[in-house]
């Protein structure tokens, strides 16, 4: 078998000389891929990387387990600029007659609302009674029509209706142009 000895320590490719260089160069330089084998990585590295990944995952789990931050309700928080004292309205105090008038008006309002509510409830009761009577008569007539009548009407709900306005719509009215910019703050948990 032949031994190749490289004459210099430079990384260049030096052609091997004869066997008379043998005395100084006893070491074999293996900088060239002498034996065709892939580079071995250090064993510690994959384990270290794995440990790092585990630590990161644990941290993520801890953060997720923590309770989500509450979204502040903007309506319940008074902005500080309105807590200033200079904004308090200065009005003359109420007279005795005024307070009396207010109290009496509140009492009349109470009575008014009570009567209104009672009348509404009475009307609903009459409505129900009339319907029950109609269904009773229908049942006496024919059972199948009765069954068809008491079946639920799927198309009825959701029932949508626009409420009445103060004035009827103006025919041919062209509302003025404008742009609405929405500045509500959106919070994400």
Partner 1 sequence: TAAATRPWRLFGAMCLLRLPRITQPLQKEEEEMAALMEQIELEKSHYSDHEIRKLQEEEQLRRRKESAYDDEDEAPGKMVIMAQDLEEKWEQKLLSFKAAPRITDADKNNNRTSLNRKLDSNLMLLVKQKIGNQELWLLPQVEWQPGETLRGTAERAMSTFLGDHIQAKVLGNAPYGIYKYKFPRAIRTEDNVGAKVFFFKAFLQSSDLSQAELKEDYLWVTKDELGDYLKSEYLKKVNRFLLD
- The reply to whether 151 sits near partner 1 by the rule CB under 8 A is yes
Sketch the per residue contact string, 92 through 131, with partner 1: x for CB under 8 A, - otherwise: ----------x--x--xx--x----------x--xx-xxx
8 and 14 Cβ atoms separated by less than 8 Å: yes
The footprint of partner 1 on this chain (CB under 8 A) covers a number of residues equal to 42
- Cβ neighbors of 149 (< 8 A, separation 6 or more) are 135, 138
- Cβ neighbors of 21 (< 8 A, separation 6 or more) are 5, 7
Stretch of residues binding partner 1 (CB under 8 A), selected from 1-9, 12-20, 58-66, 159-167: 159-167
Phi-psi region of 183 (alpha: psi -120 to 50; beta: other; left: phi over 0): alpha
Q: Which is nearer to partner 1, 19 or 126 (CB)?
A: 126
CA distance 105 to 21: 124
Shortest distance, CB of residue 182 to partner 1, whole angstroms?
Answer: 21
Token reading at 166:
């103060």
Token reading at 160:
């949508």
138 and 145 Cβ atoms separated by less than 8 Å: yes
Q: Which is nearer to partner 1, 68 or 176 (CB)?
A: 176
Among 87, 177, 182, 187, binds partner 1 (CB under 8 A): 87
Footprint (CB under 8 A) of partner 1, residues 17-76? none
Residues that bind partner 1 (CB under 8 A): 82, 86-89, 91, 102, 105, 108-109, 112, 123, 126-127, 129-131, 133-135, 137-138, 141-142, 145, 148-153, 156, 159, 161, 164-171
């Amino acid at each position: 078998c032949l031994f190749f000895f490289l004459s210099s320590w430079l990384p260049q490719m030096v052609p091997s000389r004869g066997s008379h260089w043998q005395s100084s160069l006893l070491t074999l330089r293996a900088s060239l891929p002498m034996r065709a084998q892939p580079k071995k990585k250090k064993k510690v590295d994959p384990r270290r990387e794995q440990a790092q990944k585990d630590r990161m995952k644990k941290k993520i789990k801890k953060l997720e387990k923590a309770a989500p931050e509450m979204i502040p309700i903007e309506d319940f928080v008074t902005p500080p600029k309105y807590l200033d004292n200079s904004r308090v309205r200065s009005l003359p105090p109420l007279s005795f007659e005024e307070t009396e008038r207010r109290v009496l008006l509140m009492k009349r309002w109470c009575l008014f609302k009570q009567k209104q509510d009672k009348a509404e409830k009475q009307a609903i009761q009459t409505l129900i009674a009339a319907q029950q009577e109609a269904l009773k008569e229908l049942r006496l007539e024919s059972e199948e029509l009765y069954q068809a009548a008491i079946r639920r009407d799927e198309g009825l709900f959701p029932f949508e209706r626009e409420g009445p306005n103060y004035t009827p719509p103006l025919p041919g009215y062209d509302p003025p142009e404008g742009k609405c910019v929405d500045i509500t703050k959106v919070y994400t948990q």
